[in-house]
Amino acid sequence: MNLTLNFKNILFSTLFLSNFFALPAHAQDNNVVKKLIQRFLSSENDSTRGASLIVLPAVGYAQESGFEYGIAGTYNFYLDKSDLNSRTSNITLIGTLTTEKQKNAKLTSDIWTKNNDYHILSELRYRDWPFNFYGLGSDTWLADEDLIGQKLIRAKLDGEKKIVPNWYAGLNIKYEHFRFDDRETGGIFDRDNVLGKLGGQYLALGISSLYDTRNNTTYTTNGLYTRLKYDYSPNFFQGDNFTGSELEADLRIFKKLAPTLTMAGQLLYRGTFGKNVPFYAYRDLGGDMTMRGYYLGRYKDLNYATAQAELRYRFMPRFGIVGFGGTGGTFSPERHLRLVPSYGAGIRYFFSLEHNSTIRFDYAFGEKRPGEKQQKGFYLSISEAF
> Beta strands of 134-258 (E only): which ranges?
146-164, 167-182, 199-212, 223-233, 244-258
Residue 4 scores a pLDDT above 50: no
Residue 16 pLDDT level (bands cut at 50, 70, 90)? very low
- Indicate whether 238 pLDDT > 90: no
Rounded distance between C-alpha atoms, residue 282 and residue 54, angstroms: 34
Residue 149 pLDDT > 90, yes or no? yes
Please report, for the domain that includes residue 322, its CATH number: 2.40.160.50
| Domain assignment of residue 71, yes or no | yes
Give the torsion sign (CA, 17, 23, 24, 25): negative
pLDDT of residue 305: 98
Q: What is the pLDDT of residue 57?
A: 83
The whole-model pTM stands at 0.88
State the Cα angle at 165 between 162 and 166, rounded to 5°. Answer: 80
- Asked if residue 108 is part of any domain, the answer here is yes
Residue 1 lies in a domain: no
pLDDT band at 21 (very low <50, low <70, confident <90, very high): very low
Q: Are 136 and 149 in contact (CB under 8 A)?
A: no
Within a domain: 250: yes
What's residue 44's pLDDT?
72
In a domain, 171, yes or no: yes
User: 12-16, 107-111, 328-332 — which is least confidently predicted?
Assistant: 12-16
Q: What is the pLDDT of residues 200-220, one digit of tens each?
A: 999 999 999 999 999 999 999
Instruction: Give the closest residue to 317 by CA, choosing from 292, 352, 287, 284.
Output: 352
Residue 2 in any domain: the answer is no
pLDDT exceeds cutoff 70 at 24: no
Cα 275 to Cα 261: distance, rounded to the nearest angstrom: 47
Tell me which residue range forms the domain holding 302. Answer: 7-382
Overall domain count for the chain: 1
Q: 25-34, 82-91, 254-263, 295-304 — which is least confidently predicted?
A: 25-34
Evaluate whether residue 26 is within a structural domain.
Answer: yes
Would the pLDDT of 302 be above 60?
yes
Angle at 237 between CA 231 and CA 241, to 5 degrees: 70
Pair 362, 346: CB distance under 8 Å: yes
Average pLDDT along the chain: 89
Question: Residue 346 falls within a domain, yes or no?
Answer: yes
User: DSSP of 124-138, one letter per residue?
Assistant: EEEEE--EEE--SBS
